[in-house]
Amino acid sequence: MSNLAVFKNQDFGEIRTTLINNQPYFCLADVCRILDIKNVSDCKDRLKKDGVVNNDVIDSLGRRQVANFINESNLYKCIFQSRQPYAEKFQDWVTEEVLPEIRKTGNYSLIPKSYAETLRLYADEVERRELAEKEAQKAIREKSWIENRREATAMATASVKSKEAEKLKVKLDLEMSYATVKKVELETGRKYSWQNLKKYCLSAGLGWNKAFDANYGSVNSYLAEAWKNVYGVEL
């Protein structure tokens, strides 16, 4: 039980209050009794959850009990829910007498001066929460868009790299299936005639590639099939 204070009024009876983190809290059961709200549980369900706390109280028999206490914002919600004509008078008593007394040793300074100001403050609070919710939803959508964009970019990059790798593989495979006379002579230590290779390719309907040569600029490079069938050389 922390800083429990009881305020009395000849019209409304008693209301138990406390300060939690320098914020005024009010006993929900007392508020509902004063405002003639019959179902305390239903009333609690309609309030903001982060503005409802459990607090120890001592009942009339001296027993320690746990009661729900609500913050100022939820108090105003209860007042607005009440259909009693004296709800506004109760509001005035709270803002003009109860809250100033509670805050004498606290740091909270926002005290509505009238019922109309309370309505305005409550509307501002609702607008602030709605704006915060919209900003949160916007941030979620933007994050999702960025993640989807990154995923799409990553997939596109992977696809390009995969295609490039495939092209390189084909190129290497082709290069390995062709060989120049000079290259085979260096590998085997024997001499070969390019005329025989070219003659075979022409008769078999095969083509040949061009390869760079330091002496001649470019020379013909013949298929492995030609090398095997003409000279028995396996590339």
pLDDT per position as a tens digit, 212-229: 878 777 888 888 888 889
Summarize pLDDT for 36-75 with one digit per residue, the tens: 999 999 999 999 999 999 988 876 677 788 889 999 999 9
Give the pLDDT score at 172: 44
Q: What is the pLDDT of residues 158-215, one digit of tens each?
A: 777 767 656 655 454 455 688 898 888 888 888 998 889 888 888 888 888 888 878 7
- Can you give the pLDDT at residue 118? 60
Please give the pLDDT value at position 89.
Answer: 93
E-state strands within the chain:
5-9, 13-20, 23-27, 52-58, 64-71, 178-180, 209-213, 217-223
Rounded to whole angstroms, the Cα distance separating 208 from 162 reads: 28
State the number of CA atoms in the 13 A half-sphere of 93 facing the CB.
Answer: 17
Q: What pLDDT, in 10s, does the model give residues 76-127?
A: 999 988 888 899 999 999 998 888 887 775 433 444 545 565 666 667 667 7
Whole-number pLDDT of residue 115: 57
